[in-house]
Amino acid sequence: MAVLHTEMKNGILLRVADLLESSAGEILKANRADMKEAGKAGLQGAILERLTLTEERITGIAEGLRQVVQLEDPIGEIEMMKKRPNGLLIGKKRVPLGVVGVIYESRPNVTADVAGLCIKTGNVCVLRGGKEAHQSNKAIVNVFHKALDESGMDPHMVQLVGDTTRESALAMMKLDTYLDILIPRGGAGLIRAVVENSTVPVIETGVGNCHVYVDEDADPEKAISIVYNAKTHRPGVCNAAESLLVHQKVAEKLLPLIGKELMKGGVEIRGDASTCRIIPEAVSATEEDWSTEYLDLVISSKVVDSVEAAVDHINKYGTGHSEAIVTENYTHAQYFLDRVDAAAVYINASTRFTDGFEFGYGAEIGISTQKLHARGPMGLRELTTYKYVIYGSGQIR
Amino acid sequence: MAVLHTEMKNGILLRVADLLESSAGEILKANRADMKEAGKAGLQGAILERLTLTEERITGIAEGLRQVVQLEDPIGEIEMMKKRPNGLLIGKKRVPLGVVGVIYESRPNVTADVAGLCIKTGNVCVLRGGKEAHQSNKAIVNVFHKALDESGMDPHMVQLVGDTTRESALAMMKLDTYLDILIPRGGAGLIRAVVENSTVPVIETGVGNCHVYVDEDADPEKAISIVYNAKTHRPGVCNAAESLLVHQKVAEKLLPLIGKELMKGGVEIRGDASTCRIIPEAVSATEEDWSTEYLDLVISSKVVDSVEAAVDHINKYGTGHSEAIVTENYTHAQYFLDRVDAAAVYINASTRFTDGFEFGYGAEIGISTQKLHARGPMGLRELTTYKYVIYGSGQIR
């Protein structure tokens, strides 16, 4: 697979996209079976919503694959080639990671996204989806198998784990002889379990306790719209803001305006003493609130006395995902950029932009919150590694 | 530390180099104490040799640090900066990993190498050396502390774990809240223990079951000298060859010549049936031999019937370290380069070149045999990660 030409890989992806649309009926039927089981099992709103497929969503998945076709294939690129004093030519060549394992929860679109990105990068993928979505996942993977088979490729390039018990996930975590990387996509509990149990190298994804810091030199309008957008645009996702920090010099003036806007959007504010004094509707935050990823219409709020204090708070409580400062002050902006330890640090923009599509990477396989290998949105390039290729003419040491 | 200027970091390293030389007496005294204990504990030749410091070796360590000063500082470099359709400027900035943990065995020079590379890259290091070298390590770390202190820096940038029991190593493996990366440097047992127990992201290093494949179109002289060099130049290191593969078409002619040379160098040959027939002095290899890293004057040898068979054997038994083909055939060379899955793949050169100095990276912190984050010799760049810095003007989604 590492030596497949881009044309071949793109051909498979286009065929999958077409087949997904023409097989929409079967996929939706499988999805309805999943939904029925989920209903019986008493699953709640957000999970059911993620699980649901529609004709439109399937078209969206197919469109996503067509976009991946448009992306440049990183495989085979020689990034560096230098001549050493002894005449050895040493090059660094982009190659697939090998076998990519992904453990995820209820979203069937992840199946197609991951398989598509892996095909484009010449990786084999082993998919362990949630049991709620198993029928839907099987229907989607069948489409990939059909397209691979038609192209004369081994359908095992895309593998769905048939066993959706906890045991199968645990077993995958120990397959370091076979898997080159394991990516958990889901809630904090799943991610923690993978980090603790896996002997396969893991990429931690997703947990986002993201902050917006409104500096003393913030433009009030930008502050209000960025905080509002970061919190309310899609509160259930990892790049949504969970915590607001406001400089004390502008707290009296700006917090009431920001608070009013947030409350109009149905947001509950959990504040420190200063916030609660300035916004009477706010409830008292506990220590736990500062490290909580609500994934809901709730925000914690604290008044700080300097950009330094804001950065310290963020580096203490943040999860290294996305952090934003709103300021017109050059030095404060640079200080924040330099000192905040996170995958994505924003000046005067919403944290909601941390995402593969927004960064121009096409689809994404997850958002890394660790520092090794990949940070932030992981696209095609993050599914690759390199090898050194060395051209000699008989050199020995 | 992430924002220290290169001048400052270089100044510290130069000061450490000078202090190492002027404190050589104290370091040697500490080393003699370690050697005495090691002698009492009945430690053997190779370990004692690695443990030994001399005036000359200390000068070598100091020189190594001065070379690190000469290397370009990767920190702060913006590798990419692009404008998105919504006007957001998105850049990728090189930053330190953060806190680097290293667990190693008896070599005191590792202490200075790792601390030097970490200072240059703005990383904190937590060093857990072997108990055999603890006095020597302490003396070396004292020198770093003195130089850091003189520069007004926090000496905790370089930390030596005082407890050298197995428990302290195990405890380090669970410190994922504090350590960003954990690198085991030592034997296969240590590396396996770290992979199995660590919740900190690990870089596997070092195990090298390296092959030299002599193709049907090999130049005989290159074949003999490369095999001889790869096996005998320094048999105890990870980039030494452990296994020889020879194409059947040239086995009758070349194996006796290669074998003679190897045996002159005191190498024991463990061969398959064909090898044993061609080289009567060879002993029969068992299945276990194909996957053994001897780290000694022993080599396994097998006759194969094609470059494809050679590549299959290597991908089955190799450890992803360094692999070489000797050939004058363009297509065979490219096939080998493309298909062998290893950190470094050589055409017509000895596997012994896989090393930070030989690759032009100055010192190295280890040689990665995994695919995530870094592959092959890890120098300064491999001790860094990136963060996205995003310049907005009020953008929201």
> Is the pLDDT reported for residue A205 higher than 90?
no
**CB proximity list for B234: less than 8 A, separation 6 or greater:** B240, B352
Q: What is the pLDDT of residue B172?
A: 96
Q: Residue written as tokens 């127990």? A: B197
Spell out which residues of chain A touch residue B339, defining contact as CB-CB under 8 Å.
2-3
Pick the CATH number of B210-353 from 3.40.190.10, 3.40.309.10, 3.40.50.2300, 3.40.50.300: 3.40.309.10
Q: How far apart are CA A324 and CA B392, in angstroms?
A: 10
Q: Are strands B366-368 and B376-378 parallel, antiparallel or unpaired?
A: antiparallel
**CB proximity list for B52: less than 8 A, separation 6 or greater:** B31, B35
- Under an 8 A CB cutoff, do B396 and A352 touch? yes
> Is the pLDDT reported for residue B45 higher than 80?
no
**Measuring CA to CA, which residue among A182, A196, A202, A199 is closest to residue B175?**
A196
pLDDT band at residue B214 using 50, 70 and 90 as cut-offs? very high
A342 at B interface, C-beta within 8 A: yes
> Range(s) for CATH 3.40.309.10 in chain A?
210-353
**Of residues B364 and B388, more confidently modeled:** B388
Q: How far apart are CA A339 and CA B1, in angstroms?
A: 10
In angstroms, what separates the C-alpha of B68 from chain A's closest C-alpha? 18
Q: What percent of chain A has pLDDT over 90?
A: 89
Q: What is the pLDDT of residue A1?
A: 85
In angstroms, what separates the C-alpha of A156 from chain B's closest C-alpha? 19
A-B C-beta contacts closer than 8 Å = 190
Question: How is residue B202 annotated by DSSP?
Answer: B
Q: What is the pLDDT of residue B6?
A: 97
Residue among A338, A385, A389 whose CB faces B371 most closely: A385
- B129 to each of A181, A307, A313, B179, how far by Cα in Å? 28, 39, 34, 16
SS3 B164: coil
Spell out which residues of chain A touch residue B344, defining contact as CB-CB under 8 Å.
387-388, 390
SS3 B295: coil
> Lowest-confidence range among A147-156, A191-200, A296-305?
A191-200
**Measuring CA to CA, which residue among A84, A107, A364, A249 is closest to residue B344?**
A84
Question: How is residue A141 annotated by DSSP?
Answer: H
Token code pair at residue B124 = 């904190």
Kindly provide the b/e burial profile for residues A251-270, where b requires at least 16 CB atoms within 10 angstroms of the residue's own CB.
beebbeebbebbeeeebebb
Residue among B196, B370, B385 whose CB faces A371 most closely: B385
Contact A208, A239 (CB under 8 A): yes
SS3 B106: coil
Residue A151 class from Cβ within 10 Å (0-12 exposed, 13-18 middle, 19+ buried)? middle
Phi first, then psi, for residue A268 (nearest 5°) are: -85, 135
pLDDT, mean of residues B343-366: 92
A316 at B interface, C-beta within 8 A: no
- Under an 8 A CB cutoff, do B397 and A199 touch? no
B82 at A interface, C-beta within 8 A: yes
Q: Is B373 left (phi over 0), alpha (psi -120 to 50) or beta?
A: left
**Measuring CA to CA, which residue among B49, B184, B24 is closest to residue B106?**
B49
**Measuring CA to CA, which residue among B127, B105, B143, B136 is closest to residue B21?**
B143
pLDDT band at residue B219 using 50, 70 and 90 as cut-offs? very high
Q: What percent of chain A has pLDDT over 70?
A: 100
Q: What is the pLDDT of residue A29?
A: 98
SS3 A397: coil
Helix locations, chain A, DSSP H: 6-22, 24-40, 45-51, 55-70, 108-120, 134-150, 166-173, 188-197, 220-232, 248-264, 273-278, 307-317, 330-339
- Please identify among residues 164-203 of chain B the ones whose CB lies closer than 8 Å to any CB of chain A: 176, 180-181, 195-196, 199, 201-203
CB atoms within 10 A of CB A373: 22
- Under an 8 A CB cutoff, do A360 and B90 touch? yes
- Under an 8 A CB cutoff, do B397 and A370 touch? no
Q: How far apart are CA B110 and CA B121, in angstroms?
A: 16
pLDDT, mean of residues B371-387: 95
> Is the pLDDT reported for residue B362 higher than 80?
no
SS3 A19: helix
Token code pair at residue A63 = 């469109």
- B49 to each of B93, B139, B199, B275, B356, how far by Cα in Å? 42, 19, 33, 35, 22
In angstroms, what separates the C-alpha of B143 from chain A's closest C-alpha? 29
A90 at B interface, C-beta within 8 A: yes
Nearest CA in chain A to B374: A373
Q: What is the DSSP string of A207-273?
A: ---EEEEE-TT--HHHHHHHHHHHHHSSTTSTTSEEEEEEEHHHHHHHHHHHHHHHHHTT-EEEE-H
pLDDT band at residue A210 using 50, 70 and 90 as cut-offs? very high
Spell out which residues of chain B touch residue A346, defining contact as CB-CB under 8 Å.
390, 392
Q: How far apart are CA A203 and CA B45, in angstroms?
A: 41
Q: If you average pLDDT over every residue of chain B, what do you get?
A: 95
Phi first, then psi, for residue B68 (nearest 5°) are: -65, -35
Please provide the size of chain A in residues.
Answer: 397
Using one digit for the tens of pLDDT, what is the confidence trace for B80-131? 999 999 999 999 999 999 999 999 988 899 999 999 999 999 999 999 999 9
In angstroms, what separates the C-alpha of B72 from chain A's closest C-alpha? 16
Q: What is the pLDDT of residue A253?
A: 98
pLDDT, mean of residues A254-277: 98
In angstroms, what separates the C-alpha of A394 from chain B's closest C-alpha? 5
> Is the pLDDT reported for residue A354 higher than 80?
yes
Contact B223, B214 (CB under 8 A): yes
- Under an 8 A CB cutoff, do B372 and A97 touch? yes
> Range(s) for CATH 3.40.605.10 in chain A?
6-204+370-391
Token code pair at residue A176 = 């370091």
- B103 to each of B107, B202, B351, how far by Cα in Å? 11, 11, 26
Using one digit for the tens of pLDDT, what is the confidence trace for B119-136? 999 999 999 999 999 999
> Is the pLDDT reported for residue A144 higher than 80?
yes
**Radius of gyration of chain A from Cα atoms?**
23
Q: Is B266 left (phi over 0), alpha (psi -120 to 50) or beta?
A: left
Residue among A199, A226, A387 whose CB faces B394 most closely: A226
A291 at B interface, C-beta within 8 A: no
> Is the pLDDT reported for residue A105 higher than 90?
no
Q: How far apart are CA B201 and CA B191, in angstroms?
A: 13
Spell out which residues of chain B touch residue A389, defining contact as CB-CB under 8 Å.
337, 345
Q: How far apart are CA A327 and CA A329, in angstroms?
A: 5
Provide ipTM, 2 decimals: 0.92
- Please identify among residues 199-238 of chain A the ones whose CB lies closer than 8 Å to any CB of chain B: 199, 201-203, 219, 221-222, 225-226, 228-230, 233
Name the class of domain A6-204+370-391: alpha beta
Q: What is the pLDDT of residue A50?
A: 86
Angle at A357 between CA A223 and CA B375, to 5 degrees: 110
pLDDT, mean of residues B303-314: 98
- What are the strands, taking DSSP E only, across chain B? 78-83, 89-96, 99-104, 124-128, 158-160, 181-185, 210-214, 241-247, 268-271, 283-284, 298-304, 322-326, 344-349, 366-368, 376-378, 384-395
